[in-house]
Amino acid sequence: MKLETIDPNNVIRETNLSGTKYQGKVRDVYDNADSTLTIVTTDRHSSFDRVLAHIPHKGQVLNQLSLWWFEQLKDIVTNHVILSVDANTILAKKTKPLPIEVIVRGYITGVTATSLWTNYNNGQRDFGDFTLPDGMVKNQKLAEPVLTPTTKSDLGDENLSSKQIVEKGLLTQERLDEVNAIAIKIFKRGQELALERGLILVDTKYEFGLDDDGNLLLIDEVHTPDSSRYWLADSYDEAFAAGQDPKSFDKEFLRKWFKDNCDPYKDATLPDAPPGMVLELAKRYMEIFEKITGSELNCKN
């Protein structure tokens, strides 16, 4: 689909299906009163723990790209998908979600309050499970991927160390070790497959749940432009040498615009996202889907 044919008003803002509904920032989840959930990925665009805009075809990209990645990772970890219902919707196994989000980072970057670069630039060196040396610069590659788990809260995420997770009773050490090992494995698989397609998987967020037998499942979404940061691989070396950000295929540029034009954490009312940026982000979502999967996005509307 060409950029000029995208209708900025053709978006899914919310849904109204049968069943008990939980509305997240991006997904509408319906409890089917059995062992399944119906999950609809809308076009709501969330950053800074709030909805900033509505991006055409975003929900379809997130849903279908996650389905592609779940298939690539299923030999490492089982996922919650039962079947794809339509472009934006899946039927999923009901799980008990773990009370943490697992953030895996391969580079020191970011602009949000919980990002590695923000905290490092403010003087932090000890991150609980690892320590970074002085003298690092923004967008530098880490020697090995690191884990920076956070709480899950509508009031904002809080960084946690492994010790805090166990001490707070959020997870046992055994379960945490399992989660961490799987997270690193699927991140490295993601980096390998992304690089084959000319992309750098910079960092990402994973969510896990437990089935009735206590088995760990990968849930929510995986390696999408919402949960992950991607750079164009052939832009990295030159940009890094110049102290600039590599060309990005994620939502970082819209985050930066809001950071520059308001306080997205504190302001009660935010400015409208510029229409040109909304369309550009829609284009980027579609481009990254096609670049990763090798298939054209068949826009449903």
Two structure tokens written together for 223: 């390696």
Domains and CATH numbers, the chain: 97-241 (3.30.470.20)
Task: Give the pLDDT band (50/70/90) at residue 153.
Answer: low
Q: Decide: 43 and 273 in contact? Cβ < 8 Å.
A: no
* Average of per-residue pLDDT values in the chain: 93
User: pTM score, two decimals?
Assistant: 0.91
SS3 state of residue 163: helix
Of 179, 288, 270, 192, residue with least CA distance to 232: 288
Mean pLDDT lowest among 111-115, 152-156, 217-221? 152-156
Q: What is the pLDDT of residue 261?
A: 95
Distance in angstroms (rounded) separating the CA atoms of residues 65 and 63: 6
Provide the pLDDT for residue 156.
58
- 126 CB contacts (<8 Å, ≥6 apart)? none
